[in-house]
Structure 1
Amino acid sequence: MSQEEAALALKRFGLGPRPGDIERIAVDPKAAVLAELDAADITRLDDDRLPSTPDAFVAIRHDQVARSAARKTADMPAKGTAPAAAVAAMKSAPPPAAPAMMAVGGNGGMAAGAAAAGMAAAAPPKPPAGPQNRSMVIYLDEIDARVPRQLAAEIGYVERLVAFWTNHFAVQSDKNEQIRGLAGAFEREAIRPHVLGRFEDMLVAATRHPAMLLSLDNVDSAGPHSPAGQKRHMGLNENHAREILELHTVGVDGGYTQADVTEFSRMLTGWTFARDVDKPAAGTFAFKADWHEPGDRRLMGKTYPAPGGKQPADQQGLAALHDLAVHPDTARHVATKLVRHFVADSPPPAIVDAVAATFTATGGDLKAVSRALVENDASWAGERKFLTPQLFLVASMRAYGVPIEGKRLVSLLRELGQEPWCPPSPEGYHDDAASWLSPDGLTTRLAIADSIAQRVRFDDGPAAIATQLFGPSLSDDTRRTMERAESGRQAAALLLMSPEFQWSRT
C-alpha cells in the first residue's frame, strides 16, 4: 500500500490523522485498521467519574426531588406574617363596596392595586440559582472522558464503530433529564461491550436499558387486558416496538405491517425498569408480569406462545428479538448502514452484499462483520465521504493535539447541529453529505476552525504539520493557500477547512 492509502485508512475508517500517523502505518494501512479489532479491552471505557446506570439514575432522582423541594420552599410565604407595606396598603383601602360603587369610584381598584404591589415588593427574593443539575454534570463528565480516548486512538476504527452503533440505537437525551444523565452509561453498558460481539446481545441490552425504555416510552406500556391495565386503566405504547422493527432490525422495507407493530408492542408490555430509589434494584431492568398483555402473539408470520410453566416471564419478547436479530432483512439493513457510514453515501451493492453475507453466515458476529468491511477491496475505492460535525471536531483535536473541554465541546457541537446523544428523532443523526454540507454549516465550521487555530503552537510552521498529516495527498492548491495566509493562525484554520481535511478522500 502507500501513504495515500494510509491517509484514506485514517480518515475513512478512523478518527483522522495525527502528525506522523501516515508514515507509521504506510507499510500496511489495512492491517493497522484490522489490528484494532484484536486489541485487548479496546471497547472498554473506565473512568472513576462515570457512574453506573443504577447509580446515575438514583443520583439524578435525588437531585430532582431536592431541587423540586427547594423551589417549593422558595415560593412559599412565611406562615403568620404579612409584609408591612401590604398591611399599610390594606389599612388605607376603603371598605368593600358593591360592584356598582366600585365601578363609579376608582379608589377601590387603586387601593387593591397598591396592596398587591406592596405585597409583591415585600415578597422575599428567590434564592440564587443553585449548582448545575446532576444529570448535566454526569453528561459533561461522560463527554470529557471520551476526549483522551479519541486523541490517543492509533486509528480510531473501534471508536468509530462505537459511535455508529450508539447512533443506530439512538436515544434522545434532550427529551428529559434522566435520559441525558443515562446516555453515556447506555453507550458504556449496552453498546461498547457488544461492538465486537454478537448483534443479538447488543439488541437485547439496548432494548432493555433504562435510557432506551425512557426514550421510546416503553416504561409505562401495559397491556389493556393485563391486571395492571384493567385495574389502573393503563395503555399500550407502540413506539418502542415500531422503532425496533423500523430502525434497529429489519428496516422500513422489512415486510412488517402495522399489525406486527401492535403485536410486538404487546410482547414488550411490562418491559420497564425499577424506579423506586429506596429499593436496591433502582435503575435496573424489570419485567412486570402484571403489566404484560396475556396470550399468544403473532409477529411477521410466526406465533410466539404465551410464557408458561418455568419459562421466564419475558421469554416471549426475547424470542422475538432473537429472530429479528438473525433475520436476513436485518443483515441487509445493518450492512447498508455500515457501508453508508464508512464508504459512500450511496452504498455500493457489492459491498453491502458481502457485509450482509458475513452477518448472516456468522449469526451477527459484529467483529467478523467489521473485519469484512475493511477487508473488502471495494471499501477502499468508494466515493468520498464528508465529515460529520462530530468527526470534524475530533479530527481537528487530533490534527493539532488540542483537546476541547466537555462543556465547550458540547456547545460547539450544538452550534454545528450534532450534539452528543441528542438526535432530532429515534432514527439518529444522518451521516451523508446532504445533511451537513451547506453554506451555513461551512460558515460555522470556519468560525470554529479559527477558534481552534488560536490554540495551536507551531514548531516548524503550519505547512510542515500539513505535510505530516496528509503526506503526498496534500494538494498543491491547499499548500499554496496556506502559504498565502496572513498568519500561522489563518493557515491552521484554512487547513481544517481544506478538501483534504473535510473529505475522506480528494
Structure 2
Amino acid sequence: MSSSVKADAVFALQRFGMGPRPGSIDAIAADPRAALLAELDNPPPYPAAASSLPTSAKAFRAVADANARRQAKAIVATRAETEAGKQQMSAGPAMAEGAAQGMSEAAQKTAAEAVPDPGRRIYLDEAKLRTEAALNANIGFTERLVWFWSNHFCISADKIRSMSGGYEREAIRPHVLGSFTDLLLAAESHPAMLFYLDNLGSMGANSVAGINRSRGLNENLARESLELHTLGVRSGYTQDDVISFANVLTGWTLVPPGDNPEHGGEFSFNPRLHEPGAQRVLGKSYEQDGVEQGRAVLRDLAIHPATATHVASKLARHFIADTPPQALVDAMTKTFLDTSGDLKEVARTMVSSPEAWTEPRGKLKRPSEWLISIVRAAGLTQADPERFTGGQALLGEPLWRPSSPKGFPDDEASWIDGMGRRLDIANTFAERIAGKVDPEHVIENVLGSCVAAEVKQAVGRAESRQQALALLFMSADFQRR
C-alpha cells in the first residue's frame, strides 16, 4: 500500500471520523471518500446495550422518586432526633442544645445512606456506552455527527442530569441522517430541553393559568430556538418575534412525576397554560390551535433560508476549518434548501466537495475528540466512564455540561490555552499504557507512518515509552484534523 493511499485514509479518519485505530486504514484505504459515503447510507447501529438503559422519562422518575423517599426518611429521622432531644431536657439545657445542633446533619446523612441518588449511575452508564460507541466505530463519521448535533441542540447535565444521556439517544441520535425538521421538532419538544430552558411553567398572560396565577411568559426556548438552533444571530427576527414565538410555545411542558408514576417526565401539552389566539412570527400568522401551532412555526423555521446558511456554516466549521471555504458552505446551503433539510444529503455534499479535502489539516480538535483519538490509537475499546468524564471535565469540556445554551465553542481560540492540561492527560495516559503499547507500532501500523518527520525523530529519541507516547499524542497529528 503506497504512502499516499495511507495518507488519504488517515486524513479521512482524522477529519471526518474519530481518528485511526488498529486496522482502520486498511478498511478504508481503497477509497476513503466512498467509505465515508457508505457509512452515511449504512450507519453502524448503536450498541445493543442501549436497550437496557432507561428512557429519559423513566430516569427522571427514578431520581424524583429517590429524592422523595430520601426527604421522607430525613423527616422521619429528624422527628426521632427531636423526640430524643426532648427526652434529654431533664439532663440540662446544654445537652438538649447539642442534640438540636447535630439533628439536621445526622438526619440528612441517614437519608442519603438509605436512599442513594440513582442519577449519577444513570449518567455514567450513558457516558460509557457513548464513549465505547466512538472507540469501536470503524470510522466514526456518524458518531461525530451525533456529537455535533447534540452540542448544537445542547442541554446541561448540571440542570437535568438524569435525562442528559436519554435526550441524546431519543431526540438527537435517530435524526442526524434524516430531516432537520424532524430533528428540530424532536429536540425542542423533548422534556429535557423544556426543563433546561425553563419552558415548563411558561404561560400566556391570557391563558387560564396565566389569568388565575398572574404569572408570566418565559422567552428562553423561543429565543434560543431562533438564535442558536435555526436562523442564527442577526438573521432578521425581532424581539416581537421572540415574544410571539414564546406565546406559541406556552403549554409545552412535562407530566409531573409525583402526579403520574407511569408517565411522569414525558412530554405533555397543557392547554391551560397556552396563550389563546393567532400569533405572528417572522411576518406569518399562525392560527393553529394548541400544540400544532408550535409545530407549525418550527416546521417553517426548519426550512428557512437563514437556517440553511446557519446549519451549513456550523457543520463546515466543525469538520473542516474555523473559517471554512465559502464555496463549500454555499454548496451545503444549496443542498439543504434543495432537499428541505435532508441532513444525510448535506453531509454527502460536504464529503463530496473538493474543498473538504484540499483544506489543510489545521483544525484543532475539541478536548473530547482528542481524548477519543488517543485512546483509539492505543487500541482500547472499553472505557472507564468515571475516568473518561473526569478527563473531559479537566480539559474544560465536561460531558453534556456546556456553560450556556450556545454549547461548547468550535474554534481554536477557545481551546488553545488548554494545551498544558492536555499534556498532563497525555502523560498520565501514556504512563498507564506504556507497558503494552509501543509508540513505534502506533506510528507504523495505526497511523501508517503518516506523521511528520520531526515527530518520528522526537519519538525515536525519547528516554522512555511513556515520554515517546506523550510526545506522539501531543503532536499535530493527534491535535489537528
Show the counterpart of 1:9: 12
Q: In 2 relative to 1, CA 330–74 (structure 1 residues): closer, same or farther, beyond 3 Å?
A: same
Q: In 2 relative to 1, CA 82–165 (structure 1 residues): closer, same or farther, beyond 3 Å?
A: closer
The answer to whether structure 1 residue 133 and structure 2 residue 111 are counterparts is no
Show the counterpart of 1:304: 286
How much has 1:472 moved relative to structure 2?
Answer: 4.0
Show the counterpart of 1:101: none
**Corresponding residue to 2:256 among 256, 275, 299:** 275
The answer to whether structure 1 residue 411 and structure 2 residue 393 are counterparts is no
Q: In 2 relative to 1, CA 483–284 (structure 1 residues): closer, same or farther, beyond 3 Å?
A: same
Q: Tell me the secondary structure at the aligned position of residue 427 of structure 1.
A: coil
Q: In 2 relative to 1, CA 460–430 (structure 1 residues): closer, same or farther, beyond 3 Å?
A: closer
Q: In 2 relative to 1, CA 467–119 (structure 1 residues): closer, same or farther, beyond 3 Å?
A: same
Q: In 2 relative to 1, CA 117–186 (structure 1 residues): closer, same or farther, beyond 3 Å?
A: closer
> CA-to-partner distance for each residue in 1:309-348, whole Å, 9 max, x for gaps?
xxxx211111111110000000000000000000000122
Show the counterpart of 2:406: 427
Q: In 2 relative to 1, CA 119–85 (structure 1 residues): closer, same or farther, beyond 3 Å?
A: farther
Select between 208-217 and 397-406 the one with higher mean Cα deviation.
397-406
Equivalences for residues 112-127 of structure 1 within 5 A: 116-117=97-98, 120=101, 125-126=106-107, 127=109
Q: Tell me the secondary structure at the aligned position of residue 174 of structure 1.
A: helix
Show the counterpart of 2:305: 328
How much has 1:349 moved relative to structure 2?
Answer: 1.1
Q: What is the distance in 2 between the residues matched to 1:44 and 1:197?
A: 20
Question: Contact 2:443 / 2:450 at 8 angstroms: preserved in 1?
Answer: no
Q: In 2 relative to 1, CA 317–50 (structure 1 residues): closer, same or farther, beyond 3 Å?
A: same
Residue identity in the other structure for 1:182: M
How much has 1:285 moved relative to structure 2?
Answer: 1.2
How much has 1:7 moved relative to structure 2?
Answer: 1.0
> CA-to-partner distance for each residue in 1:247-269, whole Å, 9 max, x for gaps?
00011122100010000000000
Show the counterpart of 1:64: 67
User: What's the Cα RMSD here?
Assistant: 2.2
Unpaired runs of 5+ residues, structure 2, are none
Q: What is the distance in 1 between the residues matched to 2:374 and 2:394?
A: 16
Give identity over the alignment, percent: 44
Show the counterpart of 1:103: none
Q: What is the distance in 2 between the residues matched to 1:123 and 1:492?
A: 51
Show the counterpart of 2:238: 257
The answer to whether structure 1 residue 216 and structure 2 residue 197 are counterparts is yes
Residue identity in the other structure for 1:475: A
How much has 1:203 moved relative to structure 2?
Answer: 0.4
Show the counterpart of 2:172: 191
How much has 1:76 moved relative to structure 2?
Answer: 3.4
Q: What is the distance in 2 between the residues matched to 1:371 and 1:434?
A: 29
**Corresponding residue to 1:377 among 334, 339, 354:** 354
Q: In 2 relative to 1, CA 45–240 (structure 1 residues): closer, same or farther, beyond 3 Å?
A: farther
Unpaired runs of 5+ residues, structure 1, are 91-112, 308-312
Show the counterpart of 2:376: 398
Show the counterpart of 1:104: none
Show the counterpart of 1:106: none
Show the counterpart of 1:389: 367
Residue identity in the other structure for 2:247: R
Q: Tell me the secondary structure at the aligned position of residue 8 of structure 1.
A: helix
Q: What is the distance in 1 between the residues matched to 2:455 and 2:349?
A: 34
Q: What is the distance in 1 between the residues matched to 2:303 and 2:257?
A: 36
Q: Tell me the secondary structure at the aligned position of residue 158 of structure 2.
A: coil
Show the counterpart of 1:33: 36
The answer to whether structure 1 residue 478 and structure 2 residue 455 are counterparts is yes
> CA-to-partner distance for each residue in 1:442-467, whole Å, 9 max, x for gaps?
22111111221123256783112112
> CA-to-partner distance for each residue in 1:205-245, whole Å, 9 max, x for gaps?
10110100000111111101101111122210000000000
Q: In 2 relative to 1, CA 124–36 (structure 1 residues): closer, same or farther, beyond 3 Å?
A: closer
Select between 239-248 and 293-302 the one with higher mean Cα deviation.
293-302
Q: Tell me the secondary structure at the aligned position of residue 447 of structure 2.
A: helix
Q: What is the distance in 1 between the residues matched to 2:242 and 2:6?
A: 50
Q: Tell me the secondary structure at the aligned position of residue 68 of structure 1.
A: helix
**Corresponding residue to 2:139 among 137, 155, 160:** 155
Report which of the two has the higher share of helix: 2
Q: In 2 relative to 1, CA 67–334 (structure 1 residues): closer, same or farther, beyond 3 Å?
A: same
The answer to whether structure 1 residue 181 and structure 2 residue 152 are counterparts is no
The answer to whether structure 1 residue 290 and structure 2 residue 272 are counterparts is yes
Question: Contact 1:86 / 1:118 at 8 angstroms: preserved in 2?
Answer: no
**Corresponding residue to 2:227 among 246, 249, 252:** 246
Q: Tell me the secondary structure at the aligned position of residue 303 of structure 1.
A: strand
How many residues of Structure 1 are paired with residues of Structure 2 in the alignment? 472
> CA-to-partner distance for each residue in 1:372-413, whole Å, 9 max, x for gaps?
110111011224111111001111110102333111111111
Q: In 2 relative to 1, CA 283–44 (structure 1 residues): closer, same or farther, beyond 3 Å?
A: farther
Select between 449-458 and 138-147 the one with higher mean Cα deviation.
449-458
The answer to whether structure 1 residue 266 and structure 2 residue 247 are counterparts is yes
The answer to whether structure 1 residue 52 and structure 2 residue 34 are counterparts is no
Residue identity in the other structure for 1:87: S
